[in-house]
A = this chain, B = another copy of it.
């Protein structure tokens, strides 16, 4: 750690790679004989291995949740607002693990990696993985650390789905599931947005049925559109209005179809930047994992029944202006948890930022999140 980083930062961190050689049987019927997961850790694992927290990432996230990779880094990890000394997930108390999911594009085995069986890039041949598959792959990471029971599995959005799935598939291996800005399943509208994003990618002529690397290209325009569509759903109408209003780039209308308004400029910038760093096949895979997630489906659509086998406690948080996964979706989960007789704490946080609010250090959010984590530490005598 270096003095040049803020005192509440985990400071300099570096990723590690773990190879798993035991075959992983996936929901789709395919088997991955071997796979790698890239991960980071923050804080120290105690002797009892009882203070471990697993962080699960969302659609475009990765293993770099907190701290900096080098002194020149301008931006810390994606959840630095909540992970660090004195922050809600206090690294003076907890040992934190965050990985890039299987099928991701930031270092774990995924479409942009070489298939050891063929020597070629996986590309579109990489299997469609589900949230259940991810949890299975993460169990092995826990085993590798010798962590029998996570103090908590924590995630926002798609990450929250993983926390929920952990609690159902491996109930003995976590004490708490923190499900933030998430949902027990997508609505038709959510699926519709995902479908259009995928369509934008697959109808880009540079997509080449997913074999774009073989053609020395990437479907930049499609990926850019996909990200722009996604981005609208991460922000609230209100926050976009506050940020951009109807401000023009130039003083007056140009009477053309180029960028005129600030909001157009912002979306174009965000879309372009994303398209230069994210893998298109991974984007398809992540959105499909979202679509498929529906733990209640296994038991005829009865969420209460699906939750019966869980034994952990739950912490559910929603944000007032989140219209991607609205508070109503969290309330649906909370109601089912209560009916299933589980311990659940729920808070709806007043916040203007839409879905992105789970990444933003709103005081009440941090306070409630901190309080819950402190209770975990207390009960576990950490």
- Measured CB to CB, the residues of A under 8 A from B are 27-29, 127-128, 185-189, 191-193, 195-196, 198-200, 202-205, 221, 224-225, 228-229, 232, 235, 237, 240-241, 243-246, 253, 255-257, 259-264, 267-268, 284, 288, 291-292, 294, 297, 323
Contact = CB atoms under 8 A, between A and B. Distances in A.
B192 A264 contact: yes
B196 A267 contact: yes
Given A199-B225, A202-B257, A255-B27, A241 B187 contact: yes
Copies in the complex: 2
B256 A128 contact: yes
B196 A260 contact: no
A205 B232 CA distance: 24
A195 B267 contact: yes
- Best-surrounded residue of A196, A237, A267 (most CB of chain B within 10 A): A196
A188 B284 contact: no
B263 A128 contact: no
A224 B200 CA distance: 10
Which of A28, A200, A205: most chain B CB closer than 10 A? Answer: A200
Given A188-B244, A191-B246, A229-B196, A284 B264 contact: no
Nearest to A260: B291
B192 A291 contact: no
Given A188-B261, A195-B261, A200-B200, 8 more contacts: A27-B255, A187-B240, A188-B237, A188-B240, A188-B262, A189-B241, A192-B240, A260-B291
Nearest to A222: B203
Nearest to A190: B237
Contacts of A297: 246
A198 B225 CA distance: 10
A237 B240 CA distance: 20
A253 B198 contact: no
Contacts of A255: 27-29, 127-128
Nearest to A236: B189
19 contacts: A27-B253, A28-B253, A29-B255, A127-B255, A186-B246, A187-B240, A188-B243, A189-B240, A191-B246, A192-B228, A192-B264, A192-B267, A195-B228, A196-B228, A199-B268, A203-B225, A229-B229, A261-B291, A323-B323
Contacts of A267: 192, 195-196
A196 B246 contact: no
A245 to B, nearest CB: 6
